[in-house]
Every structure is written in structure tokens, then in C-alpha cells.
Chains A and B, each alone.
Chain A
Amino acid sequence: EVVMTQSPATLSVSPGDSATLSCRASQSVGTDVAWYQQKAGQAPRLLFWGGSMRPTGVPDRFIGSGSGTDFTLTISSLQSEDFAVYYCQQFSNWPPSGTFGGGTKIEI
């Protein structure tokens, strides 16, 4: 099983700043990584996946990058609604897998 390790566990930033979140896979996964945002009491929200896919309605200040084992989610010009926990996820259709990282909390 691929293990996804996120860092840092907590990131303290100010509104208007940029934030860079890291995710490392225990083995190469190509560009098969997704990023989610989760706010307290809510389900995760898909932000970016597969190297270039951003679901409709997700602001373009959320950008995912990376390949192989090292991945980054960059959030530019942080808004108040961006303070949340962010998860990376490795995905595969065959064999089916979808392992999540432990999360990075962005706090003010």
C-alpha cells in the first residue's frame, strides 16, 4: 500500500499570504494525486487532481503540482474561507486504491 505523508501538520499564515503544502508518496505514483479541503463538520471538498484537473467552482488560486513521489498544493492570496484542513490522496483504478495523507491544517 502506498503511504502518503503530508507536511507540515500545521501551517500558520496570514490572510493574503500564499501557502505551500507538501505531500510525499512512499513510491512513485505518477501524477495520480488528488487534493481535498475539509472544514469542521463538513465533508471533504475536491480541489485538484491528476496533475491538471480542477473541478468546476474551485478558484484558480488552488494549484496542484508534482509527479513521482513529491507533490505540492499552492494556495495563493489566502482568503478567510481557506482556513481549513487539506488532504492529499493517491488514487488508482487498478488495482483500486485511494490512500489519504494525514492532513495539513492551515490556521490564522
Chain B
Amino acid sequence: QMHLQESGPGLVRPSETLSVTCTVSGASLDGSTYYWGWVRQSPGKGLEWIATVHYGGHTYYNPSFRSRVTVSMDSAKNEFSLTLTSLTAADSAIYFCARDTGHHMVTIFDLWGRGSLVTVSS
């Protein structure tokens, strides 16, 4: 059975860069046909889709984050990652990684990790 597990730094200082990684177990990313995404949740902005990556190298970004975000995949490590630059307090949130439904939908997810809480504070 496939599982997703996020790992993040917990606390990040303003203006710095956030890196969060999602490790996939129970299946291989190598050659996977699924789309793999990031969604965050905060009290102020609710749920927000951030970005999605596919094994074939295609990436998709929410325009609201486009200038600050990068999503990538390392199939050898069976993980994919999110990088978000120029952090402010508004980026404090729970960051979820997730997998699409298998119907090639870029922003709908039916398997989720438990989330990684990130706080931006000095």
C-alpha cells in the first residue's frame, strides 16, 4: 500500500527558503504515471494548491506562487520536493504532499501525507 510522508524543517526564518520533501513508500516513482502535488493549509488562507510534478518532467504551478516555488522529483530516492523562497509569516502552514487520482488530474488528490507544520518566525 502506498504511503506518503513529508519531512520539513519545522521553523524557518523570514526571507529564507523552505524545502519540504515527500518520501513515497509502497510504490516506485520511477516511470510512475501519477501526478504528485503539494497543498498547504493555514488558518488565514485555508487550503491552497501550490504545485504538481510528473515523472516525465512536467511541472505545474499555482500562479500565486510561481515566482517563488520550485517542485522537483528524485526517482532514485523515491521522493519529490518543494522549495519556496522569500518566506514571510503568511507562509506559515501545514504543508501536505499528495498523489493524484490516477486519472491524470493535476490538482485533485486522493492520497495524502499527514502534513508537515512549518512556522516562519525570527
A interface residues, Cβ below 8 angstroms from B = 1, 34, 42-46, 49, 53, 55, 87, 89, 91-93, 95-100, 102-103
> Would you give 17 A-B contacts (Cβ < 8 Å), ordered by A?
A1-B64, A42-B114, A43-B112, A44-B96, A46-B110, A55-B110, A89-B108, A91-B108, A92-B107, A93-B104, A93-B107, A96-B52, A98-B49, A98-B62, A99-B49, A100-B48, A100-B49
Q: Are B46 and A43 in contact (CB under 8 A)?
A: no
Contact partners of B62 in chain A: CB under 8 A: 96-98
B residues near A (Cβ < 8 Å) are 39, 46-49, 52, 60-64, 96, 98, 101, 103-110, 112-115
Instruction: Check A46–B109 contact: CB distance below 8 A.
Output: yes
- Residue with the highest number of chain A CB atoms closer than 10 Å, among B60, B61, B105: B105
Check A98–B108 contact: CB distance below 8 A: yes
Which partner residue on chain A sits nearest B49 by CB separation?
Answer: A98
Could you tell me the distance in whole angstroms from the C-beta of A34 to the nearest C-beta in chain B?
5
Chain A neighbourhood of B112, CB < 8 A: 43-45
A residues less than 8 Å from B104 (CB atoms): 93
Say whether, besides A43-B96, A43-B113, A55-B110, A91 and B105 are in contact (CB < 8 Å): yes
